[in-house]
Every structure is written in structure tokens, then in C-alpha cells.
Amino acid sequence: MLKETPQLAPDGQPWRISTLRNAAGMVVTITDWGATLLSCRVPMPDGSVRETLLGCASPEDYLQQSAFLGASIGRYANRIANSRFWLDGNEVSLTPSQGEHQLHGGPQGFDKQRWMIDRQNEQEVLYSLTSPDGDQGFPGKLCATVLYQLTEDNRLEITYRAEVDKPCPVNLTNHAYFNLDGEQNDIRRHELQLLADQYLPVNAAGIPDQALRAVTDTGFDFRSRKAIGQDFLNDDCQQKVGGYDHAFLLNARGDEAQPAAHLWSSDGKLQMTVYTSAPALQLYSGNFLAGTPAREQGEYANYQGVALESEFLPDSPNHPEWPQPDVILRPGQTYRSLTVYQFTPC
């Protein structure tokens, strides 16, 4: 189902909202502005329905927030240090969006652009976007698509694809924030298992400043299920950024059939499993959510949503030594990144 809002987006056109449904009663809504996930409602065995995504009360409220709620992120998710990198012997300068650094593709990234609806039905919607040469400083024209699919076994599948006419780093993801309790409460009571032996330390600006580090004997060890708050802020690496905002190099990197992470609601009644073809997940505990317009009760507070963003490691264009595929997409190649969020009542 597709509907248009009476309110208008910044380009003077209405928001177009697509609704996906399955026979189990799961309902997902998405808008073409930023190819943004608005809602993900999961039916529970007792007949109730849980809203698992953070979101705003109306589409226009999304313009009043800077948390990237549910948005498609590109051309390059996460941070590029000093808004520059070297490519084939030439320095490329980007448009900064977080101090001197570029975050999530720049001040006018893919989250702030109108995506075209190429096709849709109750099971899927396909969006496309063309980013011109020089957009936010990136070289070449890029053509991207994102396919949202809802399966009968409560899997929300998100597939990004892209092609370029000049070499360019590409790193697309969705910035969904989850709270499996369906309430505006503290996600640090959620339990998480993140199947990664290594994480990437960062400085106070979120820029990697050390080599990959083993999670063993640190608060970053989520290889066994534990509460997000169990080791919260117990080390300098977390304290620099107010909690978790770190990339984990996945043990199953590239193998989309193997779980990357499991998340459980505070009451243990709903589980979400993450699968991805990406090499890393960024764990963000919502450290700076305060003041973000909320769907129901005014504003969100810090730590009321958790993001598990599938992506390359941050600042990868400046670190070709890291053990992951090349982040530079070249003409004739196709970028593809799949992420699956599967919801299972317990």
C-alpha cells in the first residue's frame, strides 16, 4: 500500500509512505524521503503488537532530528577522518558534517534526499537514487538502489546495491534504532550477543585512533549473551564517546547465512537476530539521543534505542590495511550489501 501525506517534504512534494505486511501480522512502513524506515511492528503470542523501531510522530518531525532515525546512509556510512582520503594517488576532499570530519555521507547525504519508488507491493519496495559527480565531495556519478522485503517468517531484509562511473568508496547502511520492549525505556537492560572477536577503539570524535583490538577481558566482549549495561562506561574507550559507539569486526564477515548478532528485549519475550554480508557492525547505544522527537512521549532520552549498523569499518578509505574487502567501488563493479533483521517471539 502506498499513500501520500498532505504535508510536503523540503523538495515541495509529499512524503510517500509504503506499507509492507505479512500473514503473521507484522507491518513495516517506509518513506521515500531518505528511504527511511518509519515503523516495524511485530505481533506477539498474547495478541499484542510491539513497535520495535524508534521514530517520530509524523514525517515532518524527521526534519527536526539529527539522529538519522531509520534512514538510508550514504555514500559512506560512519566517519571519514578530516573529510579527506587518498585515491589512486590523488587526495579527495569531502564536505565535512561533524566538525572537521565527514559523518554519514556529508551534510546532504542520502538520508536527506528523495529516493524514487521503482516498484512496490505488500511484500517489498524498491527505491533508487542517483548521486551526481561531486556530491558531498565524492568523485563520479553513483546509482544506488535499496530493496526492502518482508518475509512470512518475520525477516526484514534490506539490500543495497550501487554502481559508479569513477572509483569511489561506497558504504551504505540503514540507521535503524531498536527498542524491543516497545516502550521509551532504557535499552541497557536489553541483552546482546555480538559475534565478534575484535573491535575498533576510537577517540572522542569517534575517529579510529588505534589498531583493531581483541574484545577479550574488555567491556566490548559480547560473544556470550549479556546485558548492554553490564560493563557500560567501565573503561576509557567507552567514556570518550558516552557509551558504545564502536565498530566490531564480525567473525562471520561476508557470510550472510551466519548470525552476526542477537538482541533480546528486557523481558526476554522478543528476540532479534541480525544477518549481514558486511564485514562489521557498529554498535551504538544511543548516547546522544536526548532531545530527538519521539513517536509518542515528547522526546527520546539517551540510551532509549540501540543501533546495529552493518558496514565497513569507519574511516576505511584511510586504512587499506584492515582485514576486509576493498571499500573502493570501481566502474564495472556492483556494490551489494544485505542486512536481515529477523524477529522471533520467545
The binding site consists of 78-79, 175-177, 245
- Radius of gyration for the alpha carbons in the chain, expressed in angstroms and rounded: 19
**Can you tell me the distance from the alpha carbon of 310 to that of 173, in angstroms, rounded to the nearest whole number?**
6
Cβ(171)–Cβ(160) below 8 Å: no
Sign of CA dihedral 102, 105, 113, 64: negative
Catalytic residue among 101, 104, 175, 190: 175
DSSP H or E segment with residue 237: helix 236-239
Residue 256 is a catalytic residue: no
Residue 175 is a catalytic residue: yes
Known binding-site residues for beta-D-galactose equal: 78-79, 175-177, 245
Catalytic residue among 51, 163, 191, 309: 309
3-state secondary structure the chain: CEEEEEEECCCCCEEEEEEEECCCCCEEEEECECCEEEEEEEECCCCCEEECECCCCCHHHHHHCCCCCCCEECCECCEEHHHEEEECCEEEECCCCECCEEECCCCCCHHHCECEEEEECCCEEEEEEEECCCHHHCCCCEEEEEEEEECCCCEEEEEEEEEECCCEECECEECCCECCCCCCCCHHHCEEEECEEEECCECCCCCECCCCEECCCCCCCCCCCEECCCCCCCCHHHHCCCCCEEEEEECCCCCCCCEEEEEECCCCCEEEEEEECCCEEEEECCCCCCCCECCCCCECCCCCCEEEEEECCCCHHHCCCCCCCCCEECCCCCEEEEEEEEEEEC
What are the catalytic residues? 175, 309
